[in-house]
Amino acid sequence: MSRIAVVGLGPVGLVTGVAFAEEGHKVAGIDVDARRVDAVRQGRPPFFEEGLRDAVQRVLENGRLAVTQDGSEAISEADFVFLCVGTPARPNGRMDDVYLRQAAEEVASGLPSHRAVVVIVKSTVVPGTTETILKPLLEASGRPFRLAVNPEFLREGHALEDALHPDRIVLGVDGPETAKALRWLYANAACPILETDLRTAEAIKYATNAFLATKVAFANELADLCSALGVSYDDVIEGVKLDPRVNPRFLVPGVGFGGSCFPKDVKALVAAVSAAGYAPPLLEAVLRQNEVQHERALALLKEELGDLRGKRVALLGLAFKGNTDDVRESRAVPLARALLEQGAAVVGYDPRAEANFRPLVPEAELVASVEEALQGADGCILQADWPQFSVLGAEDFLTHMKTPVVVDGRRILDPDKMRGVRFRRIGSP
């Protein structure tokens, strides 16, 4: 059993802390936000993540998780301190390190003088940040410490499962003692563990997200190529995936990637290397394409409906993907705004993201069920891959809609079940 302090109780920090607590460690969760601390203390995570609420309540009850606004005591007693604060994008795309600096100062003031705590960066940070920003702030304390970078690879919606059963662990370390301590902490993990230096571990996180975002962008472009060539994306990609060098996942074309990671991380990477004098043409193109990818869904809708003025359009799925209430960079936002600009009325529905979406597009009408959204609609765009949407069939659309025009922006509906529906998908002729 180790004593672990986790600074930052957002999606990464809370899930990481709860996972360590579930594994038997004693965890202190620290956050500057009093409302967040109160909510967690009462067993109510401030965001939705499958299985998290039950797990939080379990580890609060058995005493393995405590949460606090003042982390000084927890940090002074900890063996490991994980930094899990947000690293949002500035308006110019560059990573904002303000929360990281604050967290580092808090950690520095709490470090004990007689032993070296291992301070681990889990926040996604531009390569070099740990050495050039964090290290000097901790050194200013005059206390001993060890430093590591251990990027998170959690998928929202499956984050707790990913934290408990990782498929890989990357440990960027400042020396063999730190590596030994972290290998001990992760002794039960049944997955490959890669040891690197600090900067390489930071870069691995960005490179992974940049690759996956590029893969999605490639799928989106291939879908357009298929439409232009008069062939089906499904048939083409089925053949492409037979090549053992092509991993079949993350090749679903749609309205573009959203979320708190792909857009932000690719932008931060582009901005960081651009500042160093190198403009990466491929990643710049990925970002440009993603900015306008949602317009493909609008174009398909207009091919069926013509002018959108006065039309009622159901928008199914407001979160950036299914199984989450996270609306950060959700493609539902530009979609809804574009529909409204073109004179349509937008009726949105999401199983969990309604409250988060409402302030972003206040002009949209939000309703409490799929049926209500479809009622009297001239068209429907499916934006997020919620499992409950994938079972919708022709009857659902034909019963409620005024004109059954459906654009599947995530390719989750079965075209064979759409008889009688004017059904369109990005990448189909």
Can residue 222 be called a binding residue for ligand UGA (CB under 6 A)? no
Judge whether 161 and 50 are in contact, CB under 8 Å.
yes
- Angle 198-229/233-240 helices, nearest 10 degrees? 130
**Which region among 38-46, 73-81, 245-253, 349-357 touches ligand UGA (by CB under 6 A)?**
245-253
Binding residues for ligand UGA, rule CB under 6 A, total 19
The whole-angstrom separation of Cα 342 and Cα 295 is: 12
Annotated catalytic residue within 84, 191, 226, 261 = 261
Q: Which of 33, 23, 24, 25 is nearest to 5 (CA)?
A: 25
Residue with Cβ nearer ligand UGA (26 or 352): 352
Closest by Cα among 77, 105, 324 to 66: 77
**Dihedral, 11, 14, 20, 22 alpha carbons, nearest 10:** -100
Task: Supply the DSSP symbol for 421.
Answer: S
Among 129, 130, 209, 290, binds ligand UGA (CB under 6 A): 209
Residue in 6, 59, 67, 216 binding ligand UGA, rule: CB under 6 A = 216
Q: Which stretch binds ligand UGA (CB under 6 A): 92-100, 125-133, 165-173, 251-259?
A: 251-259
Decide whether 60 or 226 has the Cβ nearer to ligand UGA. 226
Beta carbons within 10 angstroms of residue 309's beta carbon: 8
> In this complex, which beta carbon is closest to ligand UGA, that of residue 17 or of residue 259?
259
- The full DSSP string for 315-366 is EE--SSSTT----TT-THHHHHHHHHHTT-EEEEE-SS-HHHHTTTSTTSEE
What is the C-alpha separation between 124 and 173, in angstroms, rounded?
A: 16
298 in Cβ contact with 352 (< 8 Å): no
Stretch in the footprint of ligand UGA (CB under 6 A) among 103-111, 259-267, 277-285, 372-380: 259-267
**Using CB under 6 A, which residues numbered 79 to 118 contact ligand UGA?**
none
Q: Which is nearer to ligand UGA, 145 or 386 (CB)?
A: 386
Half-sphere exposure of 62 (CA within 13 A, CB side): 14
Spacing of C-alpha 229 from chain mean position:
33
Regarding 250 and contact with ligand UGA (CB under 6 A), the answer is: yes
Q: Is 257 in the site for ligand UGA (CB under 6 A)?
A: yes
* Cβ-based nearer residue to ligand UGA, 154 or 198: 154
* H or E stretch at 302: helix 294-305
Choosing from 154, 160, 201, 413, the residue that interacts with ligand UGA (CB under 6 A) is 154
Closer to ligand UGA at the Cβ: 59 or 261? 261
Question: Among this protein's residues, is 261 annotated catalytic?
Answer: yes
Q: Which of residues 306-345 bind ligand UGA (CB under 6 A)?
A: 320-321
**Residue in 45, 110, 166, 259 binding ligand UGA, rule: CB under 6 A:** 259
Nearest-10 Cα torsion for 177, 179, 181, 183: -150
Among 116, 153, 199, 390, binds ligand UGA (CB under 6 A): 153
Q: Which is nearest to 129 in space by CA: 57, 49, 198?
A: 198
Residues identified as active-site: 261
Contacting positions for ligand UGA (CB under 6 A) = 152-156, 209, 212, 216, 250-252, 254, 257-259, 261-262, 320-321
